[in-house]
Structure 1
Amino acid sequence: MDKYPTRTTAPYQVVEEEDSVDNRTGRINYVDLVEDVRRGDWNSTRYFLESHPDALRARITVTGGTVLHLAVASEQEHIVEELLNMISEQDLAMKDNAGNTALHEAIISGNYRMVECLITKNRSLVSFRSALNELPVVSTMAMGHKELARYLYSLTPSEELEAEKAEQGAKLLTYAIHARDLDLALHLIKRCPSWAFAFHGEYFSPLQALTVVMTSSQFARINWLKRWIYNHSVHISSAGATDQIRLDINQNDQERSIGSGQALLRQRRQTVSSLLNLFDINMCSDIIADTIFSAISRGNFVFVSEMLEANTELYFIRNSSGMTIFHYAVLHRQHQIFNLIYGLKQKNDLLRYRDNDGNTILHTAGKLTEVTPIDHITGSVLQMQREIQWFKEVERICPPMSKELLNRDGLSARDLFTKTHRNLREKGEKWMKATTTSGSVVGTLIITIMFAAAFTIPGGNHQETGLPILAHDKLFKIFIIVDSVSFFSSSTAVLMFLGIFTSRYADEDFLISLPRKMIIGFFTLFLSIITMMIAFSTALLLTLRGESWIFVPIISLACVPILFVSMPFRLLVDMFVSTYGSGIFDRNMKLWF
C-alpha cells in the first residue's frame, strides 16, 4: 500500500505520514484525522481531506459525527471556518446518530462565533430540531446562553415557535424565566400571552416556572406580574452581527435600547388582571389554581396576593385534596399568605370548609407532615413552640364548633395535633432536660466559687475588728457587688433549670412556660459568668496593684470566656423574640374584600 508523501505541518518540521487505509478491509482509517482536528492542526487536516474528499461527509466519531461535528465539539474555530469553505449547505445539515447537527454542538459550548459562522453558511439550521426535539434557540436558552439565545431568536421563523400547539414557544418562555432573561420573557408573553399557560411535556408551564424561580423578594424588586401586559409597542429585531437584541420601547416618544445583559425593563406598572382578562377564566382555572397552590407551597406571597387581587373568585378555589388556599397556606406554614384571611369579610365562610378527608383548617394546623417547613427554626423547642402558635392562632379565629369536629379518622383537631407532634415534643423534652442539666452543673459551680470568694476577700481582714482592710477602696466595693450579683444570678439560674427539669412537658408548656423559664435561666447564667470574670479581674487588681506587667495580660485573657458566651446568646435572642415578639400574624390587616 502506498504511503502519503512527506508533508510539512509546521515551518521547518517534517513528519512521515502513516497508513490511512486499513490493509485488511480497504477502509479509510480516520484516527489520524480525528487526532489532527482535536490538536487544531489544520495543515494535516486539510491534507487528509484533499487526499480523501469523501472524508468531509464521513461519520468519523463514535457518535456518528462528521469532521465538522468534531471540529465544533473541539472548539477549533479556525478549522471550522476552513471547513465551511469546503462543505456545501446540504452537508452542513448532516446529523449525528443522536440527531444533532453541528449547530447543536456549537450551542452546547455556547460559542457565539462558531454559531454565527454556521448560520451564515446555512440559515435554515435554526429550524432543525435537536435530539430532544428542541429548536436551537430553545436548547440555547435551556443551557443558559442568553446572549446567544437572543441572536438565534432574532433569526428563528415565527411558525417554528408556534408549531405543535406552540410547544417550542412555551419551552422558550419557560427557559427564559429560569434563566432570568426577563426582558425576552416579557416580549414572548406580549407576542403570545397564551404561551404563559401552555404545558409542554414533563416541564412546568411558564406561569408555574415563574413561581419556582422567583422568590417573594425578587418579585417585590422587579414587580414581574405588574409588567406582564403593558401598553407599549415592543418588537425585537436582529442587531446584525452584534451580540445584542434590540427591544424598542415607545414611551413618551422616546426609544430605549436594552442590551442582552440587562434584564430589567422600566415599564409602566399594570396588575395581573390585564393578563387574566385575555382568557376565559374557566378555561385557565385549572392551570391558575395549580400555579397558585404551587406558589403557596414555596411561600411566594407577592405572586399569590397579585393573583387574588386580580380576581377575588380565586379565594374559593380548591386543590385535588379539597383544600382552600388558606388550608394549604396553613399546611405549609406560610404565615404571610395566611395573613390575607384577616382582610376578608367572608373569612368565616372559608374557615368552615373541609377537605376530602374531613379536615377543617384547624385540623390542618394540628397536622405535622414531611412538607411542614420547620427546619429553618432553631431547635426542637422553638419548632414545637411555633407549631403551638399556629394551632392557637387558627383556633382563635375558627368558629367554636371547629374545635369539636372530627375528621374521617375520628380525630378532633386537638387529638390530631397531639398525635402528629408526639415525636417533636419528645425531642424538645429531651433537649431541654439535657440543656438544663448542663446549665445546672455550671450554675452550681459558680455558686460554690462565689460563695467562697465572698469570705476569702482580697487584702484580708483587720485582726481587731474583723472588717476588710480594703473596705474603703472603690475596687473592693466593685468586687463585693459583682461577686454578689454572680452568686444570686447563678442561684436563680439553677432554680429555673430545676423548674424546667421537673416540668410535666405538656404541649401547652412549650408555648410560654418552658421558654420563659429557659430565657430567665440562660440570661441569669450568662450574667453570673460575666460578673464572675469581673470579680476575678478586680481581685487581681487589688492584689497585684502596681504590677501591671502581670495583671494586664491575665485580665485580657479573662475576656476570652466572655466572647464565647455570645455564641449561645443567639439562641436566647431567638427564643425571646419567638416568645415575646410581635409574632408572625398580622391581625391588624385592613379589610379589602
Structure 2
Amino acid sequence: MHNQIEIKVESPISIANANSNAQHLIVHQRKGKVNTRLGPDLYRASLRGDWKAAKTALSQDKNIACIEITERGDRALHIAAAAKQTAFVHNLVEHLNTSDLELQNRHGHTAFYFAVVSGVVEIAKVMYEKNKNLTTIRGSIGKTPLEMAILLRNRKMVEYLYPITPLEDLNAEECIEILVATIHTDMFDIALKILNAAGAKIVTSPTTDKGRALKILARKPLSHNHRIQERIWETLVSIIFTVPYIPYFKRIYSSLQMRRQASRLVKGLREQIMTLPDSDIIKLIQETQVFHDAAKIGNVEFLTLFAHLYPDLIWKVDLNKYSIFHVAVINRQEKVFNLIHQIGAFKDLITLYKDKEGNNILHLAGKLAPPSRLNIVSGAALQMQRELQWFKEVEKIVSHSLFDMKNNDDKTPRELFSEEHKNLSKDGEEWMKKTATSCMVVPTLIATVAFAATFTVPGGNNETGTPVFLKNRWFTIFVISDAVAMFSSTTSIMMFLSILTSRYTEDDFLFSLPAKLMVGLVSLFASIVCMVLTFSATFFLVYNEEKHEQLPRLVAALAWLPITIYAVLNYRLWIALIHSTCWPAMVMFQPGKHRLY
C-alpha cells in the first residue's frame, strides 16, 4: 500500500522554435488554442502567489487558467495548491467554473487532491465550497482524498474531510481501507465514527477483509480502566491537563485518550463481528491468528475483551502449534502469561503442547528472549537474571516430567537454556567484573580520607587533647558522617571484592550477584553523601566567623552538585537494580488485574 504521494512542481512545457529562440507553447485542451506568451507568466505567478501578475494574464486570456502549463499536465490551480498559496487559490477559484475544479493532470490528480496533500485546510475548503464533488474523485492510486489525508497523518485535514465525504457512496472495500488507515495512524476517534456509520456494510460484505482491522488493533495498546485506581489516575491527569505549561501531562492525557478510544473501537468491532454466523467468526479468528499477534506484544486487554466472545481462544494454536501462552513465554510477556493462572487445571493440558521441533513450554522458556524484550533491562547480568526468573516461573506451572523431556535435538529444557544463554552469561560476568572494578576505586579513596580525618579533626585539639569544637553541633555532624562514610565505604569495597571472586554460575545471576551489586552501590552512594557532609561540616567549623558565613554555605551547596549529577546519569541502573532485588519475580509473575473470563 502506498502511503505517500510525490508532488513535483515542474517547469513549463517548452518547445524550441527552429527559426528563433525557444518559445513556451501552452495548449488549451478544450479549444485547441495556442498561447506562446501567457503560460510561463501564469506558472511563475501561481508558484509565487503573485495574484497581480496572474490577474493580468487572465485579463488577456480568461481560458488560460484551465490549460496545462507543465509536462505533468498541471494547471495553475494545481501549482498554487501544491505551493500552499492560500490567497492566490482563493482568488483563482472565483474565476473558474465549477467543472474546472474537476480537471485532472496527466497522473489523474485534481487540484483538490494536491490541496489535501499539502495539508492546508483553508485551500481545500475554498475548492470544496465551489464544487461538492471533489471529495469523491480518486487519485492515480485509486484513493479518495480522505484516505490520502489519513495516510499522511494530517489530522486537521482528516477532521475537515470526514464530515463532507459521503461514505454511503463508497463501497465496502473502500470503507475498510479507510478504517484500516485510521487505525494504522492512531486516529481512533475517526475510526469509531467510520465504524458506526459503515460498520454493518463492512462486516456483512463478503468481499471485505475484516481481519485486517482486527490484526492492527491487536498490536495497539488499549485502556482497561475498570479498576478504581485507574479511574482515579485518569481523572487526576485530566484535571492537571487543564493547567497550562505542563506538556508532560498533556502527553499522558493524549495517550490515555487514545487508549480509551482504541478500547471502544475494539468493543464496537467486536459487536459488529458478533452479528456474523458462528462459523464465520471462527474462520475469521483462525485465519487472522489475531490472538497470537496480541499475545506477542502483550496486548492483554485485547485478549480479555475477546475472550467473552470466543472462550476457546486458549486452545487455539498457530502454525507452529503455539497457544497464546506459548507465544507469551517466547516473547516474555508476563501479563499474558499470568492469565494462565485463571484457567485452573486446564493449564496442565496446555503445557503438554509440543511444537514441530518437539519443544514443550519449558523449552521455549529456555530459549533466548527476542532483543526487543531482552533490552528492556539494563546490563547483561540483569538480563540474565530476568531470563532465569522466566525459566524458574515456567517450571512452577509444568509437571516434573517435563523437566527431563528432550526435544528433537535431544536436549532437556535446562540444557537448552544453558546453550542459548552461554554468551549472555559470559557477557554478564564481564559486565559485573568491569562494574565492580570501576566502582571500587571511589570507596577506596573515601575510606582512606575518612580514616585520615579521624585523627586530624578540624580546629585541632587543646592542651588536654580535647577537640576545640567538641561542643559545636557541626562537629557532631562531622564525627557521625565521617564514621558512616568509613563504614559504608568499607562495606562497598567488600561487596565489590565479593563480586570479583564469585563463581558466576547461572544461578548466581538469579539473586546473589544482583543483590551484592545493589548493596555495593547503595553503600557507595551513602559513603559519597557522608563524605560530602563531612566536607561541608568542616567548612562550617573553620569558617564560622560572621564575615565568612556565606562562604561555607556556597561551598557546601557546590559539593552536593556531583552527587546530583551522579544520581541523574545513573538513574536507569538504579531503577533496574531496585526492580531486580526489591521487586522479585513473585510479584511480576502472579494473577494480575485482567480477567480472562
TM-score (norm 2): 0.77
CA distance in 1, matches of 2:226, 2:72: 46
Aligned to 2:445: 445
Note if 1:490 corresponds to 2:497: no
* Cα distance change of structure 1 residues 516 and 58 upon mapping to structure 2, 3 Å threshold: same
Aligned to 1:326: 325
Aligned to 1:208: 215
Aligned to 1:337: 336
The secondary structure found in structure 2 opposite 1:535 is: helix
Shift of 1:392: 0.9
For residues 196-235 of structure 1, the aligned pairs below 5 Å read 205-212=212-219, 214-217=220-223, 220=225
Shift of 1:485: 2.5
CA distance in 1, matches of 2:537, 2:160: 74
CA distance in 2, matches of 1:528, 1:119: 71
Aligned to 1:168: 174
Aligned to 1:419: 419
Give yes or no for contact 1:516–1:579 (8 Å, CA) kept in 2: yes
Shift of 1:43: 4.7
Please list the CA deviations of residues 6-65 of structure 1 after superposition, one character each: whole Å capped at 9, or x if unmatched.
xxxxxxxxxxxxx99956587435322211222334454344345456644432113221
* Cα distance change of structure 1 residues 41 and 369 upon mapping to structure 2, 3 Å threshold: same
Which of the numbers 271, 274, 279 marks the counterpart of 1:274? 271
Letter in 2 for 1:584: M
Aligned to 1:188: 194
CA distance in 1, matches of 2:182, 2:552: 66
* Cα distance change of structure 1 residues 372 and 508 upon mapping to structure 2, 3 Å threshold: farther
Of the structure 1 ranges 507-516 and 353-362, higher mean CA displacement relative to structure 2 is found in 353-362
For residues 443-482 of structure 1, the aligned pairs below 5 Å read 443-460=443-460, 476-482=475-481
The secondary structure found in structure 2 opposite 1:137 is: helix
Greater helix share, 1 or 2?
2
Please list every run of 5 or more consecutive structure 2 residues that lacks an aligned counterpart in the other structure.
1-13, 26-35, 228-257
Aligned to 1:102: 111
Give yes or no for contact 1:140–1:149 (8 Å, CA) kept in 2: yes
Give yes or no for contact 2:339–2:596 (8 Å, CA) kept in 1: no
Please list the CA deviations of residues 530-556 of structure 1 after superposition, one character each: whole Å capped at 9, or x if unmatched.
223333344455555547615444444
Q: How many residue pairs end up in the alignment?
A: 530
Letter in 1 for 2:559: A
CA distance in 1, matches of 2:469, 2:160: 86
Which protein is bigger by CA-based radius of gyration?
A: 1
Please list the CA deviations of residues 161-208 of structure 1 after superposition, one character each: whole Å capped at 9, or x if unmatched.
21xxx2210111122334544444223323324636999999982223
Give yes or no for contact 2:294–2:303 (8 Å, CA) kept in 1: yes
CA distance in 1, matches of 2:105, 2:357: 54
Shift of 1:518: 1.0
* Cα distance change of structure 1 residues 395 and 555 upon mapping to structure 2, 3 Å threshold: same
* Cα distance change of structure 1 residues 170 and 330 upon mapping to structure 2, 3 Å threshold: same
* Cα distance change of structure 1 residues 98 and 528 upon mapping to structure 2, 3 Å threshold: same
Aligned to 2:291: 292
CA distance in 1, matches of 2:86, 2:473: 83
TM-score (norm 1): 0.77
CA distance in 1, matches of 2:79, 2:595: 66
Note if 1:529 corresponds to 2:528: yes
Aligned to 2:49: 40
Shift of 1:586: 1.8
Give yes or no for contact 2:314–2:323 (8 Å, CA) kept in 1: yes
* Cα distance change of structure 1 residues 197 and 544 upon mapping to structure 2, 3 Å threshold: farther
* Cα distance change of structure 1 residues 548 and 558 upon mapping to structure 2, 3 Å threshold: farther
Aligned to 1:389: 389
CA distance in 2, matches of 1:337, 1:402: 22
Please list the CA deviations of residues 420-476 of structure 1 after superposition, one character each: whole Å capped at 9, or x if unmatched.
22222222211211111122222222222222222334455577x766666666655
Shift of 1:353: 1.3
Shift of 1:498: 0.8
The secondary structure found in structure 1 opposite 2:301 is: helix
Please list the CA deviations of residues 57-115 of structure 1 after superposition, one character each: whole Å capped at 9, or x if unmatched.
43211322123322332344555455546555554433212211222112112344443
Aligned to 1:575: 577
CA distance in 1, matches of 2:479, 2:92: 92
Aligned to 1:136: 145
CA distance in 1, matches of 2:55, 2:417: 77
* Cα distance change of structure 1 residues 496 and 112 upon mapping to structure 2, 3 Å threshold: closer
CA distance in 1, matches of 2:314, 2:401: 23
Give yes or no for contact 2:192–2:265 (8 Å, CA) kept in 1: no
CA distance in 2, matches of 1:366, 1:198: 45
The secondary structure found in structure 1 opposite 2:560 is: helix
- Aligned-residue sequence identity (percent) comes to 32
Aligned to 2:245: none
For residues 515-554 of structure 1, the aligned pairs below 5 Å read 515-543=514-542, 545-546=544-545, 549=548, 551-554=552-555
Note if 1:428 corresponds to 2:428: yes
Aligned to 1:283: 280
CA distance in 2, matches of 1:74, 1:45: 15
Letter in 1 for 2:195: I
Shift of 1:341: 0.9
Please list every run of 5 or more consecutive structure 1 residues that lacks an aligned counterpart in the other structure.
1-18, 223-260
Shift of 1:209: 2.8
CA distance in 1, matches of 2:210, 2:262: 27
Please list the CA deviations of residues 327-386 of structure 1 after superposition, one character each: whole Å capped at 9, or x if unmatched.
111222211111111111211111111222222222222222545412222222222211
